[in-house]
């Protein structure tokens, strides 16, 4: 994949993930308001969201991490890969909370909201990184093409 394809792929995934995050957020709010069906749906959608997120991270590890290494250096790439490892642990944590029938719904919903906020910030940050990477490659097209 060339850098512009990687950017497109990441942005496409993010758009899709943002739609899913909004859906999960709305279910979480309804569950928090006491809707029992919303809690069941939240479990299903949360599960599905985490699966999509994992696939997204796999794709980014494969394509985005090397691109960042090329444009921002080894340390930035190492940091992104480390964040992805932490995020995978976070997915397991959030899923275990969602599946825990004993846990008060209000607490689960707060954790879900914090999780959603974090993922949105993360996507915003990655998109800024992509802009920086695009700008660098525009200035140094020969180096960028050697990927
Ligand atoms: Fe990422
Ligand atoms: Fe991402």
Task: Say how many Å lie between the first and final Cα of the chain, rounded.
Answer: 9
Whether residue 122 is contained in a domain is answered as yes
Q: How far is the CA of 34 from the centre of ligand 1 (A)?
A: 33
Q: How far is the CA of 146 from the centre of ligand 1 (A)?
A: 23
134, two tokens? 């695009």
Whether residue 145 is contained in a domain is answered as no
Q: How far is the CA of 40 from the centre of ligand 1 (A)?
A: 28
pTM of this prediction? 0.89
Range of the structural domain that residue 89 is part of: 3-139
Whether residue 144 is contained in a domain is answered as no
Whether residue 146 is contained in a domain is answered as no
Ligand with the closest atom to the CA of 83: 1
CATH number of the domain encompassing residue 14 = 1.20.120
Our count of domains for the chain comes to: 1
Place of tokens 């660098």: 136
Q: Supply the pLDDT for residue 136.
A: 80
Whether residue 11 is contained in a domain is answered as yes
pLDDT in tens, the chain (147 residues): 888 899 999 999 999 999 999 999 999 999 999 998 999 999 999 999 999 999 999 999 999 999 999 988 999 999 999 999 999 999 999 999 999 999 999 999 999 999 999 999 999 999 998 888 778 877 876 654 444
Q: Supply the pLDDT for residue 141.
A: 64
Q: How far is the CA of 102 from the centre of ligand 1 (A)?
A: 32
Map residue 102 onto helix, strand or coil: coil
Q: Supply the pLDDT for residue 140.
A: 75
Whether residue 14 is contained in a domain is answered as yes
Whether residue 147 is contained in a domain is answered as no
d(Cα 118, Cα 23) in Å, to the nearest integer? Answer: 16
């Amino acid at each position: 994949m060339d850098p512009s394809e990687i950017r497109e792929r990441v942005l496409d995934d993010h758009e899709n993930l943002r739609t899913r995050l909004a859906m999960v957020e709305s279910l979480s709010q309804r569950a928090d308001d006491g809707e029992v069906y919303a809690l069941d749906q939240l479990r299903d959608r949360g599960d599905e969201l985490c699966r999509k997120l994992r696939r997204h991270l796999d794709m980014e590890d494969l394509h985005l991490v090397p691109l960042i290494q090329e444009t921002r250096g080894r340390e930035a790439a190492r940091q992104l890969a480390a964040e992805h490892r932490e995020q995978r642990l976070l997915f397991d944590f959030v899923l275990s909370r969602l599946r825990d029938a004993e846990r008060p719904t209000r607490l689960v919903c707060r954790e879900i909201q914090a999780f959603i906020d974090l993922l949105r910030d993360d996507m915003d940050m990655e998109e800024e990184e992509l802009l920086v990477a695009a700008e660098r490659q525009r200035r140094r097209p020969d180096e960028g093409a050697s990927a």
